Structure 1
Amino acid sequence: MIAVQTRGLVKTHGQGQSRVRAVDEVDLEVPEGQSLAVMGPSGCGKSTLLHLLGGLERPTEGEVWVDGRRIDTLSERALARLRRRSVGFVFQAFHLVEELSAAENVELPALLAGRSPRQARRRAAGLLERVGLAERARHLPSELSGGQRQRVAVARALVNDPRVVLADEPTGNLDSAATNDILRIFEDLRGSGQTLVIVTHDERVAATADRLITMRDGMFVGDTVMTGTGGRWLGGLGGLIGLEG
């Protein structure tokens, strides 16, 4: 089954001579259970593509399908329901609610999706244990390190068992030790059959994926199966496409 699909996807910004195609006629299919990394230089359209896949932005042209359903024609209310139930987001800036504890941040999407408080607490506790933060569950985000906050954000993204997890530069604000923690979690997701799309500049993150797509000027310029190639191939890619850290 295809978990994520686009057809003739276009997203433009600006008007007249300043008009820019951030995403330019992109066709994409991501099978269920695949881990896909998207790399390319800054400004090439990676994050815009991810936002389109998750319904955070609407395309100028083309179609977006998630879990067998076309989403670019949905109302805002229907998109919100889809994001609560079928899509989990992990962002570089974490986007945790500062007034809520780690556990409450993870519980919140479950409550919004209709789970009982007891179910939400149980699910959040299990996920925080999974990401190694059971003992920090009652701490506020301000009391957590960057790596810990990102692990809370990953747990929050998984709380409603989404079919697709979208991660936008998830290690961009993290040091090497925290990045390794996130890599282990992504490896776990990959092993459990979760569909994962990761936008990243980090070759270590991309090396955990099954497949690598490279972008330039809003278009795909490479699409490679990663199994058996690992970081050696990626190391050569960095210089080829001008990746920026």
Structure 2
Amino acid sequence: MTGSTVLQARGLTRQYGQNSGLVRAVDEVDLDVPAGQTLAIMGPSGCGKSTLLHMLGGLQRPTDGQVWLAGRRIDTMSERAAARLRRDTLGFVFQAFHLMDELTAVENVELAALLAGQSPRRARRRALDLLDRVGLADRATHLPSALSGGQRQRVAIARALSNEPLVVLADEPTGNLDSAATLDVLRLFEELRTTGQTLVVVTHDARITAVADRVISMRDGAFADDSQLVSATAGTVYNGLR
């Protein structure tokens, strides 16, 4: 079930270079993401989708245009204010996981909650609950080096959920995973979708569309197509991956 708009972009543009070397990585994009929607933004490498995601999350400043999150314009915020808003309202999942190698799985997951000001006891309890939710309760005390790629990505997703974010932004979350690990991540995304978590995924992996409500195709920095989907059933999705 989708609701009011939680993430919005207007005329969003990111340019690199100048004169004959000018590149429009993102070219005047307009976007509205309703609460509770799972949106997949698809396109080939270099089409601008990761740059777009980074601007939507306040990790990168646009050359022009506006980004609004929960009714607040974030592209003009100070770095400190933007960092605070990201900490409190966004969860990020990256292709390269970005886990802290010296921390265990549970310590990686609880870190975001601790930085957001939660008590150590509450942060640890939520981290353990989230690891159980992603099927890694028995790996809580393992370091990332002792986990498979799929397990590390599930830890990263649990970490993205630890601060109870309004929106989860995922950048090529299955890019480094084999088919079995991708299946695990798709199952988890499907669970997030059914619980009403707002999720924006940029990917070139067409399998992500199986758990999306909406798919936008991106080419040369602009949107080429925007489609509302009726998601396939979980059994159909997962059987097709086996």
Q: Which one-letter code corresponds to 1:174 in the other structure? A: L
How far residue 145 of structure 1 moved from its aligned partner, in angstroms, is 0.3
Q: Which moved more, 1:146-155 or 1:73-82?
A: 73-82
Q: CA deviation at 1:22?
A: 0.5
Q: Superposition pairs for residues 77-88 of structure 1, below 5 Å? A: 77-88=80-91
Question: Aligned to 1:60, which of 49, 59, 63?
Answer: 63
CA distance in 1, matches of 2:123, 2:232: 40
Provide the residue aligned with 1:29 in structure 2: 32
Deviation of the 1:13 alpha carbon = 1.1
- Three-state SS of the structure 2 residue aligned to 1:105 is helix
Q: Distance in 2 between matches of 1:5 and 1:122?
A: 33
TM-superposed deviation, 1:16: 2.3
Secondary structure in 1 aligned to 2:211?
coil
Alpha carbons of structure 1 residues 20 and 186: separation in structure 2 relative to 1, 3 Å: same
**Structure 1 moving runs of 4+ over 4 Å:** none
Q: Distance in 2 between matches of 1:215 and 1:115?
A: 38
Identical-pair percentage: 70
Residue 131 of structure 2 corresponds to which residue in structure 1?
128
Letter in 2 for 1:105: N
1:51 paired to 2:44 = no
Q: Which range moves more in the overlay, 66-75 or 154-163?
A: 66-75
Amino acid aligned to 2:74:
I
1:49-90 alpha-carbon deviations (Å, 9 max, x no partner): 000000000000000011111100111111111111101000
Deviation at 1:228, TM superposition (A): 5.5
Report the 3-state secondary structure (helix = DSSP H, G, I; strand = E; otherwise coil) of the residue aligned with 1:120: helix
| Residue segments in structure 2 that go unaligned for 5+ positions in a row | 234-242
1:118-146 CA distance string (max 9 Å, x none): 01100100000000001100110001000
Partners of 1:140 and 1:31 in 2: CA distance: 36
Q: Distance in 2 between matches of 1:81 and 1:116?
A: 17
| Number of the residue aligned with 1:92 | 95
Out of 125, 146, 150, the position equivalent to 1:147 is: 150
Answer yes or no: is 1:181 the counterpart of 2:184: yes
How does the TM-score come out when normalised to structure 1?
A: 0.92
Aligned length: 230
